[in-house]
C-alpha cells in the first residue's frame, strides 16, 4: 500500500521538503498550492483528511497561518526529519517541523511546531526553539539558547551559550550574537548590532498571502 503526503507550498523550499518526505518513505508526494492552478488548492483537498500534511513554506508568518488552517480542518500534521540528521533521544520536536540534511540537535533541546531546521545547522543541548522559527543553513546555536516565535536566524550565524533571542527577530546572515535580543529587532554583524525594528508579527514577508513564488516540478 502506497504512503502519501501533501506538501503545502509548491516553492523551492517545498522541493526540498518533498525530497525529505521521499527519504522518509512517502511514495506519493502531492503538492498543494493556493496560488497556482497547476496544483490543487487547499479547498480542493479539504475532504481528503486521511492524508497527512507537511509544509513547504519558508515564510514564518504564512506557515503559521496555514498550520492553523490545516489543523482546524482535521488533517494530521507531520514533522519530517532527514535520515542524516543526528537527533538526541531526549529532544522534543513539535508538529509540522522540518529537519533537513546533516542537522544536529543535542540533548534535551525543545523544538516547537512549524519550525525549519535548515541544512547543517547545529542546535546544542537544552536550547528552546519556539513555534514557527527558521534556523538557516550552517547556523550554530550554543547550549541553552532560547529563540522566540517567528524569529529567523540567517545563514551561517552563530549564537553563544545562554543567549535569549526574542519573538519576531531577524538575525542577518553571518552574524555573531553575544547579547540578548529583544522582540521585534533586526540585527546583523560581528558582533550583532541593532539596525532596525521589524513588524510585530512574522518579520520577513509578514503579510498573510498564500501564493508561492516558484513552481515545483
Angstrom distance (rounded) from CA 207 to CA 62:
8
Residue 184 grid cell: 521585534
Residue 2: CB atoms within 10 A of its CB come to 6
Q: Which of 172, 142, 134 is nearest to 156 (CA)?
A: 172
Q: Which of 32, 51, 48 is nearest to 40 (CA)?
A: 32
Residue 145 grid cell: 539558547
CA 120 to chain centre: 14
β-pairing, 152-153 vs 134-135, is: parallel
Residue 162: CB atoms within 10 A of its CB come to 12
Q: Which residues are catalytic?
A: 125
Residue 195: CB atoms within 10 A of its CB come to 12
Amino acid at each position: 500500500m502506497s504512503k502519501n503526503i501533501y506538501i503545502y507550498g509548491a516553492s523551492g523550499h517545498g522541493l526540498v521538503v518533498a525530497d525529505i518526505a521521499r527519504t522518509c518513505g512517502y511514495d506519493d508526494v502531492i503538492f498543494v498550492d493556493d496560488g497556482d492552478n497547476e496544483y490543487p488548492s487547499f479547498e480542493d483537498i479539504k475532504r481528503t483528511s486521511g492524508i497527512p500534511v507537511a509544509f513547504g513554506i519558508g515564510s514564518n508568518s504564512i506557515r503559521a497561518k496555514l498550520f492553523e488552517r490545516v489543523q482546524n480542518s482535521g488533517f494530521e500534521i507531520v514533522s519530517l526529519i532527514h535520515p542524516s540528521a543526528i537527533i538526541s533521544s531526549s529532544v522534543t520536536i513539535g508538529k509540522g517541523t522540518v529537519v533537513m540534511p546533516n542537522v544536529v540537535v543535542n540533548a534535551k533541546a525543545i523544538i516547537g511546531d512549524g519550525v525549519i531546521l535548515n541544512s547543517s545547522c547545529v542546535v546544542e543541548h537544552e536550547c528552546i526553539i519556539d513555534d514557527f522559527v527558521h534556523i538557516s543553513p550552517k547556523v550554530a546555536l550554543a547550549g541553552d539558547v532560547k529563540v522566540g516565535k517567528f524569529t529567523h536566524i540567517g545563514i551561517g550565524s552563530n549564537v553563544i551559550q545562554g543567549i535569549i533571542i526574542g519573538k519576531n527577530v531577524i538575525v542577518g546572515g553571518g552574524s555573531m550574537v553575544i547579547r540578548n535580543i529583544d522582540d521585534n529587532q533586526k540585527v546583523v554583524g560581528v558582533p550583532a548590532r541593532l539596525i532596525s525594528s521589524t513588524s510585530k508579527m512574522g518579520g520577513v514577508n509578514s503579510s498573510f498571502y498564500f501564493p508561492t513564488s516558484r513552481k515545483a516540478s
